[in-house]
Amino acid sequence: MITTGKLGIIRCTGVHLTMLREACFARDEWFCQECGRWVSTEAPEWADNCAHMAHIIGLGRGGSDILENTVTKCRKCHIDIEHRGGKVVPAK
């Protein structure tokens, strides 16, 4: 489902969120945009090369679930981002 909030924030759930994640990974050619590591959705959740979709502008800060606001990250870099206060490097 795709919903739009009062401030125009777009949120995806279910199949739409899965499609957004796949589009993000395909656009970034399955490489972490932070460290360059190849990522996989088939890697176990604990593996450093587990594919994560990160938001450039976090949802809690008014970002939307749109392709232009996403970037591919490996698990390790995505966790490191959270410890840096959410500063994400935009996709190239």
**pTM to 2 decimals?**
0.79
Q: Domain map of the chain by residue range?
A: 2-83
Query: Are residues 17 and 29 in contact, defined by beta-carbon separation less than 8 angstroms?
Result: no
Report pLDDT digits (tens) over 51-70: 999 999 988 888 889 999 99
CATH fold of 2-83: His-Me finger endonuclease fold (3.40.1800)
- Cα–Cα distance measured from residue 92 to residue 18, given in angstroms and rounded to the nearest whole number: 22
Tokens of 92: 């190239």
- 27-54 in b/e form (b: 16+ CB < 10 A) is bbeebbbbeebebeeeeeeeeebbbbbb
Report pLDDT digits (tens) over 25-44: 999 999 999 999 999 999 99
Tell me what the pLDDT averaged over the chain comes to. 85
pLDDT at 38: 97
- Region 10-20: what's the mean pLDDT? 86
